[in-house]
Chain A
């Protein structure tokens, strides 16, 4: 049963920020509502005030600029999936979207809403971490930005302060000799991940791993960047033995839970297998890039 709330539908960012300032912790922001309404129906979230930002058209855009890709926070999943420029320059992002929930959910749900929901099993967060994305938040006092991996603090908790709105996600241009891969393991196509792994590898001279970014989904209270696993591979020529070590290191950094979908042990096994597999796939793509 959804509780009653007072509803506002601002048309501009300025109006939305004024409302957020006024209602602070008593309000909740809704856009597509594809995650929020599920929680509200279960009575887990019952805000007295609701600010609907779906109509703020200035926050819906995909721009391909010199310093990278800029995505407005209320851009729908479907718009990202179908964007010609994203398919061409950031194919992993488009591919991730095609496996996110269902078409109906992607038509109405938004990229910003997904990451602000703060579910560590969400697909976009892991991919954004692997792509080195930056999230920009706007409040009435101004803007601030942070790396995607710092945005989540705990299960369903983000770095957003009361009065702030996530407004833009930017993805840097892909460096030369770089490849990315993402895999989500789940049983039913439109489900959330049981566990997922994203990887980006940049190769240098002699195919040495110049840079690497890994991200684990549904493996910890937040979408996790396993830095110890990355350190095993960075600066070295990637071998099967090193990949195995990196997988084992990532398992140690992860803190997966047991639930109806999988036990903690099963999730750890998935991470152990998927970290080497995705790193190898990213490396193979980097060689061809």
Chain B
């Protein structure tokens, strides 16, 4: 039997009915059409499906959607303000922090969660911050450079 799921995604309230077994990644992609959240390994290993749930990064392939009832979810689509990209998004573009691009939404969400918690991470903390995310093109250094640039204040929040 379907259950009611009331939650906010990127500030937008939703009131939908889901089977309790539905995963958060499935609701975001298949019900709400927010396909920025990637389905990679679907087994909690790769981090491509990372979203923020009440301000914390989680792997949306490993959270029951119904557990997000009453919560606020932010996906990669929620990082930009209108057409203005977030500082991390701009830094990723400038530093070429993507190759095939599949891990990028997850990397952006993990880095965003990191900087929300700790605005001045050390290089080691940046590495730890993305260690739950796998980039199979192995472009980690460019990602670390982008996050470092934001930490140094080279990218301001768009007004």
Residues of chain A having any CB pair with chain B under 8 Å: 2-7, 9, 30, 33-34, 37-38, 40-41, 50, 52, 54, 78, 98, 101-105, 107-108, 189-190
Q: Find out whether the CB atom of A104 lies under 8 angstroms from the CB atom of B20.
A: no
A38 with B67, Cβ < 8 A, contacts A4-B19, A108-B53 known: no
Instruction: Tell me if A33 and B64 are in contact (CB < 8 A).
Output: yes
Taken together as a complex, chains A and B put the C-alpha atoms of A44 and B1 apart, in Å, by 22
Q: How far is the CA of A37 from the CA of B24 in the complex (A)?
A: 12
Q: Please give me the residue from chain A that is nearest to B55 by CB atom.
A: A107
Name which residue of chain A comes closest to B57, CB basis. Answer: A104
CB distance from B31 to the nearest CB of A (A): 16
**B21 and A107 form a contact (CB under 8 A):** no
Residue interface mask B63-74, A partner, CB < 8 A = 1: 110110100000
B50: CB under 8 A from chain A?
Answer: yes
A77 to B110, CA, bound (A): 17
The 8 tightest CB contacts between A and B, nearest first, are A102-B132, A7-B20, A107-B56, A2-B21, A104-B59, A108-B58, A104-B132, A104-B57
Q: Would you call A38 and B21 a contact (CB within 8 A)?
A: no
A3 to B20, CA, bound (A): 10
B residues sitting closer than 8 Å to A (CB atoms) are: 1, 3, 19-21, 23, 42-45, 47, 50, 53, 56-59, 62-64, 66-67, 69, 110, 113-114, 128-129, 131-133
Q: Are A103 and B131 in contact (CB under 8 A)?
A: yes
Bound CA span A16–B103, Å: 39
Q: Are B21 and A103 in contact (CB under 8 A)?
A: no
State whether B57 touches A34 (Cβ < 8 A): no
Query: Can you report 29 residue pairs joining A to B where beta carbons are below 8 Å apart?
Result: A4-B20, A4-B21, A6-B20, A7-B3, A30-B64, A33-B62, A37-B23, A37-B44, A40-B21, A41-B43, A98-B128, A102-B131, A102-B132, A103-B113, A103-B131, A105-B59, A105-B62, A105-B132, A107-B56, A107-B58, A108-B53, A108-B56, A108-B58, A108-B59, A108-B62, A108-B63, A189-B131, A190-B45, A190-B132
B69 cross-chain contacts in A, Cβ below 8 A: 9
Do A52 and B59 form a contact, CB below 8 Å, given A6-B1, A103-B113, A105-B44? no
Apart from A33-B63, A41-B43, what are 16 other A-B pairs with CB-CB below 8 Å?
A2-B21, A5-B20, A7-B3, A7-B20, A37-B44, A37-B62, A37-B64, A38-B43, A52-B64, A102-B59, A103-B113, A103-B114, A103-B128, A104-B50, A104-B58, A108-B53
